[in-house]
Amino acid sequence: MGCLTCSFAKFVDKYLLWLGNMSFKKLTIFLIIVTIIIWIISKKIIDKMMNRINFQGKHVIITGGSSGLGLSLGVLSAQRGAHVSIIARNPEKLKKAIETISSHKISDSQTISAFSADVSSFDSISHAVNKAVKYSGPPFIVIPCAGESLPAYFSQQPLDEFHSQMNLNFFGTVNTIKAVLPEMTKLAADKKKKKEKPKIILVGSAASLLGFIGFSAYCSSKFAIKGLADCLRNEFKALNIEVHIFYPSTMETPGLIEESKRKPSETTEIEGTAKAFSAEDSAKSLFSGVEKGNFHITQEFLIYFARTSMNGLSPVNNIFFDTLLAPFSLIASYIMSVYFDYIVRKGKLAKITKESFEKKLK
């Protein structure tokens, strides 16, 4: 034993001597490389150690589950053995979605069901949730994914669209969480199941982190979801319920096709800075983020990077990585704002405004 300590001391001595003989520049590079290697290895080990969520026999409720991201989340949940309930308005779309999701079941005992409801009405969503719970049991995972984007120039957008965006995206999320909370709280309090915390995953957007021309109504509703997520993450610790928020950037979904028909050209140009993903890939990122235990879930590095500089007092995902990135993200945000402003100055709205000024002067 003594000898072991002895050789360890000798090793440390040699190592320190070797470090001491290095030039400052070499030492700095060496330390940075060692830190990065330790970080990568420890992250890999931690990720491996993290339990994958056991979906088998658990009930997953997804609003907006008849299309786009919600539908892909339903398919993934079915593939992993969950009972899936999807909630949306249009019964035809729901019926088709049920067929798609059911074809991915891995066991006959899985229940895949659909309930028609409007999330912007508490009575409507609460009625649907009660039926879903009666049919498939208490909700283990809830994803309030129903949402829509109505892009327009602020000056041209009718006031009622600001209300409808808030009613669907923000209040739809609040209503859904309110509706599932009593049953989820009971499930979370179950001592036998204490290890597996029920989870709520809010669906924000990259537009929960930054705002630009054309998204004033949509972006505000998505920023509100970010604020809600921060508060609930903290408050629901008392209930043993886990809260996460997902910030997808553009996804190729039926919703995107619809919004593109009315999207101002400047908005499209700025949004194009980030890559578009398939709904399937985004759904996979959402669940893998939950499994890694991340509160903030992003699909791509660019949005992760953007988030670090606007973190405020929100919890960081990775203290080392986020702290390292934040200053660079601030610099990037400055460059981005100069670029975004350039797009707006040379854009359609600026042209229309200039023309109407000139008309008035004549």
Ligand X SMILES: NC(=O)C1=CN([C@@H]2O[C@H](COP(=O)(O)OP(=O)(O)OC[C@H]3O[C@@H](n4cnc5c(N)ncnc54)[C@H](OP(=O)(O)O)[C@@H]3O)[C@@H](O)[C@H]2O)C=CC1
**Binding segment for ligand VSD among 83-91, 132-140, 285-293, 298-306 (CB under 6 A)?**
298-306
Look up tokens 């919004």; give the residue. Answer: 259
Owner of token pair 């300590």: 5
CA distance 124 to 120: 8
When asked if residue 89 is in the footprint of ligand X (CB under 6 A), the reply is yes
Q: Which stretch binds ligand X (CB under 6 A): 25-33, 50-58, 248-256, 351-359?
A: 248-256
By rule CB under 6 A, what string of x and - marks binding of each residue 192-231 to ligand X? -----------x-x--------------------------
Task: Please check whether residue 71 is in contact with residue 90, taking contact to mean a CB–CB distance below 8 angstroms.
Answer: no
Check binding of 180 to ligand X (CB under 6 A). Answer: no
DSSP 212: -
CA distances from 137 to 6, 108, 132 (A): 61, 16, 7
> Residue 214 burial by CB count (10 A; 0-12/13-18/19+): exposed, middle or buried?
buried
What residues between 74 and 113 interact with ligand VSD by CB under 6 A? none
Q: Which stretch binds ligand VSD (CB under 6 A): 179-187, 203-211, 236-244, 312-320?
A: 203-211
250 contributes a contact to ligand VSD by CB under 6 A: yes
What is the pattern of x (binds ligand VSD, CB under 6 A) and - over residues 253-292? --xx--x-----------x-xx------------------
C-alpha 254/C-alpha 33 separation (Å) is 45
273 binds, among ligand VSD, ligand X, none (CB under 5 to 8 A by kind): ligand VSD
The nearer residue to ligand X, 197 or 271, going by C-beta atoms, is 271
Under the criterion CB under 6 A, does residue 118 sit at the interface with ligand X? yes
Q: Which does 68 bind (CB under 5 to 8 A by kind): ligand VSD, ligand X, none?
A: ligand X
CA 15 vs CA 9, 12, 18, 95, 156: distances in Å = 10, 5, 5, 67, 68
| Contacting range for ligand X; rule: CB under 6 A; set: 60-68, 231-239, 298-306, 316-324 | 60-68
Per CB under 6 A, 168 contacts ligand X = yes
249 binds ligand VSD (CB under 6 A): yes
- Rounded to 5 degrees, what are φ and ψ at 275? -75, 150
The C-alpha atoms of residue 96 and residue 89 are separated, in whole angstroms, by 13
Question: Could you give the angle at which helices 122-136 and 171-189 cross, rounded to 10 degrees?
Answer: 30
> CA 112 → CA 48, 96, 170, 220, distances in Å?
30, 12, 26, 34
CA pair distance 103, 84, nearest whole angstrom: 12
Q: How many helices (H) and strands (E) does the chain have?
A: 14, 9
Out of 302, 316, 326, 350, point to the residue binding ligand VSD (CB under 6 A). Answer: 302
* Binding flag, residue 161, ligand X (CB under 6 A): no
Query: Closest distance between ligand VSD and the C-beta of residue 305, in Å?
Result: 6
Which residues are at the interface with ligand X (CB under 6 A)?
63-64, 66-70, 88-90, 93, 118-120, 145-149, 168, 203, 205, 248, 250-251, 253-256, 279
Which residues are at the interface with ligand VSD (CB under 6 A)?
149, 205-207, 249-250, 255-256, 259, 271, 273-274, 302, 305-306, 309, 329, 332-333, 336
